[in-house]
Amino acid sequence: MQLVVNIMVLAAIYALIACGYVLVYRVSRVLNLAHGELMMLGAYLLLATASLFAGNPLTALAAALGLSLVVGILVYVLLMRKMTGEMVLAAVLATVALGVLLRGAVILVWSAQQQYPAQALGLANPPLELPGGARISTCAALLIVATAVVYAALFVFLRFGRWGVRMRAAGQSPLLAAQRGINLHAVYALAWSLSTLTGSVAGMLIALDSGLTGTMVVIGLKAFPAALVGGLDSLLGALAGALIVASAEVLLIHYVDPLLSDVVPFLVLIAMLIVRPWGLFGTREELDRV
Amino acid sequence: MRANPRASGYFRTDYRQDLALVQTRLQRVAVAVLGAALVAFPFLASPFQLDLACQVFLAAIGSLSLMLLTGYAGQISLGHAGLLAAGAFTAGILFREVGAPFWITLPAAAAVGALLGVVFGLPSLRLRGLYLAVSTLALHFVVVYAGGEYETRRGFSTGIVIDPPSLGGLSLADGRAWYFVLALAAGATLLLCLNLLRARTGRAWQAIRAHETVAEALGIGIAGYKLLAFVISSAITAVAGALFAYYRGFVSVEAFSLFLTIQYVAMIIIGGMGSLLGAVLGAVFVTLFPYWIESALLALPGARRYAGEVFAVNYAAFGLVMILFLVFEPLGLVGIWHRVQTYFLLWPFRRRPAAGSRR
């Protein structure tokens, strides 16, 4: 039972992070390898607002979420906008460079020590007893709820929202979308900010649950196979991929070797790339386009 | 190869001139001066500078091999650190387990590298661009995991210690000796790359990079040449890794993080894609960069306060420089160098780049 809960929590983490990869890739064909760092930055923003609005956790959370939206827009306007029209690889490497830059900057501003935003906010994190004798921390439960909410919202937004439709159109054919009067830069900026927002939500909840250091980036990187296994341009795929990667990881750690933790997602990824490179729900033509 | 700007008045009149690597008198003089400077350097430099030079040579071997693969054959790899680790661990394990001398471990590292090259290269037959990069990234983690597993299983959890290589009682422990060995190795790699690239293999690679379908129509076996690119590049990389292990006298997985891959990729970007000179310049730049940053920081007032943060500043500055090059100078240091050359060749006229010629 505990195993199932662990899988659910890890899958929720991966899914919440993976949807950021999917959003940006689907709209602009850029693989954002700085997503882990952006997620970490979101968590540190919460730390910053926590000291500003001490004793007022909800305000702090809202402020941090707002800031992370701004960060996403800034990333696009200041950096990724310059990379449009360059080779896809150049854009990906730009995100890698951004990641390195952010990692250094975060350590400079907030130091490399482990921090606990939950304490700064004055939040407790009591474990909940589930039927069947399993335990789950409040934050982890919140994380699962948040993942469900985010995914539901994204599905509705992309399906029915005016901007959601624009985003899908821009992803399918930037040229045609631009000719129909869709502001591509606005759409891309929106995709980046949404992606940063969802990543930050994940980062904040993980930080509230288990503290915050620079090693959080690794989680972001491990979520990326989840996105690819499901198919880089499919949200549904990200959910399925997260579930597959998380169950493989938890089961292998439990039954084989704890050291495997860092490598399992990538083993799953390699297997998927050999069998079905475009992922479970991905579009096949994607492969030739990049 | 890209047509370098050349002074007027130089015409090749026979095949021997066409084959020569060093063509004009100016080039001969430049090579001679460079060679003399390289030989004289260890006798003038401090031990610290000697160490830096050795690091540069090691980095140059690695970046040259990555340049072959990415800059010429057009196959993107994010698994470079994994290959370096494979070479280093091959040397380390062979030394620890059977006490093999370096003239066994180095070829063994090359063999392991070539084998891994096939493994890393197999996805390239099906995948292109981004997906290929991702699959090599995944393999990086697998290799590093295997290394870490070996360390913990055999109880070398802090790393494997390797004695300096020795031959007939002579042991390579002196910094100056290392300098010459590594300089020779880097020079040999450069020569190998130069000759590979102007031979059939290199031209096939460049054709594949330019356009796969056209290359196939020209009768180039795509699959074979792609795999060959991976095999050769990985073998060189693994040897570089083994040399690194001997030079440090120590192997540990911590040295082969993802950041190392990023550094090597940065070398070929900052140096300039599709140019061997670029690979060397990039290796020099990226290797020396942290030391420049450190000395710049220490020169600031109140240096004490920053001492603990040098590492973070390095990270941030490195990312920033990489971004600046990607955005403003996609052709890298070589691009700048060519522009300077063209400026002086055409002086007093100016070259106006055609509209939209920026790649």
pLDDT tens readout for residues B27-82: 889 999 999 999 999 999 898 999 999 999 999 999 999 999 999 998 888 899 99
Q: Tokens standing for B94?
A: 């062979």
- Examine the pLDDT at A84 and tell me if it is beyond 80: no
Q: Which SS3 state, helix, strand or coil, does residue B349 take?
A: coil
- Interchain CB distance below 8 Å, A262 and B145: yes
Domain boundaries, position B265: 41-288
B8 against B319, higher pLDDT: B319
C-alpha gyration radius of chain A: 19
Task: Give the residue from B83, B147, B151, B89 showing the smallest Cα distance to B117.
Answer: B83
The H or E element spanning position B169 is: none
Q: How far apart are CA B222 and CA A284, in angstroms?
A: 22
Lowest mean pLDDT among A135-144, B246-255, B300-309: B300-309
Average confidence (pLDDT) over A52-70: 87
Lowest mean pLDDT among A134-143, B195-204, B299-308: B299-308
- Is residue B259 within 8 angstroms of chain A, CB to CB? yes
- Examine the pLDDT at B305 and tell me if it is beyond 90: no
Are B57 and B185 contacting, i.e. CB atoms less than 8 angstroms apart?
yes
Helices (H) and strands (E) in chain A, counts: 14, 2
Lowest mean pLDDT among A21-25, A56-60, A82-86: A82-86
Per cent of chain A over pLDDT 70 is 98
Q: How far apart are CA A204 and CA A212, in angstroms?
A: 9
The pLDDT of residue B2: 43
Average confidence (pLDDT) over A50-67: 86
- Is residue A129 within 8 angstroms of chain B, CB to CB? no
Q: Which of A105, A225, A259 sits opposite B152 (nearest CB)?
A: A259
Q: How far apart are CA B168 and CA B88, in angstroms?
A: 23
Task: Give the residue from B175, B188, B217, B197 showing the smallest Cα distance to B274.
Answer: B197
User: Which residues in chain B (96-155) have CB-CB distances under 8 A to chain A?
Assistant: 123, 126-131, 133-135, 137-139, 141-142, 145, 148-149, 152
The pLDDT of residue B274: 86
- Is residue A228 within 8 angstroms of chain B, CB to CB? yes
Instruction: Spell out which residues of chain A touch residue B129, defining contact as CB-CB under 8 Å.
Output: 88-89, 290
Which of A96, A221, A272, A274 to mutate to test binding with chain B, by most B CBs within 10 Å of its CB? A96
- Examine the pLDDT at B83 and tell me if it is beyond 80: yes
Could you give the angle at the alpha carbon of B250 between the alpha carbons of B280 and B52, nearest 5°? 35
The H or E element spanning position B355 is: none
Q: Does residue B339 sit within a domain? A: no
Are A199 and A220 contacting, i.e. CB atoms less than 8 angstroms apart?
yes
Q: Which of B135, B317, B323 sits opposite A79 (nearest CB)?
A: B323
- Interchain CB distance below 8 Å, A273 and B135: yes
- Examine the pLDDT at B264 and tell me if it is beyond 80: yes
Q: How far apart are CA B182 and CA B287, in angstroms?
A: 15
- Examine the pLDDT at B357 and tell me if it is beyond 70: no
Helices (H) and strands (E) in chain B, counts: 15, 4
DSSP B86: H
Residue B14 amino acid letter:
D
For chain B, the first-to-last Cα distance in angstroms comes to 17
Task: Give the residue from A140, A98, A145, A148 showing the smallest Cα distance to A118.
Answer: A140
Question: B347 to chain A nearest CA, in Å?
Answer: 31
B166 conformational bin, left if phi > 0, alpha if psi -120 to 50, beta if neither: beta
DSSP B221: -
Question: B9 to chain A nearest CA, in Å?
Answer: 38
- Examine the pLDDT at A53 and tell me if it is beyond 50: yes
Q: What is the pLDDT of residues A240-289, one digit of tens each?
A: 999 999 999 999 988 887 778 888 889 898 888 888 888 888 777 655 54
User: Could you tell me the sign of the dihedral formed by the alpha carbons of B265, A39, A233, A242, in that order?
Assistant: positive
For chain A, the first-to-last Cα distance in angstroms comes to 42
The pLDDT of residue A289: 44
The pLDDT of residue A156: 94
Tally of domains in chain B: 1
CATH number, residue B265: 1.10.3470.10
Domain ranges of chain A: 16-224
Question: A289 to chain B nearest CA, in Å?
Answer: 9
B174 conformational bin, left if phi > 0, alpha if psi -120 to 50, beta if neither: beta
The ipTM assigned to this model is 0.86
Average confidence (pLDDT) over B310-331: 88
C-alpha gyration radius of chain B: 21
Name the β-bridge partners of B171.
B166
Q: Does residue B313 sit within a domain? A: no
The pLDDT of residue B191: 94
Query: Would you list the DSSP string of A45-84?
Result: HHHHHHHHTTT-HHHHHHHHHHHHHHHHHHIIIIIIHHHT
Write the CB contacts of B220 (distance below 8 Å, at least 6 apart in sequence).
Answer: B204, B207, B208
Q: What is the pLDDT of residues A161-189, one digit of tens each?
A: 999 999 999 988 888 999 999 999 999 99
Q: How confident is the model at residue B168 (pLDDT cuts 50, 70, 90)?
A: low
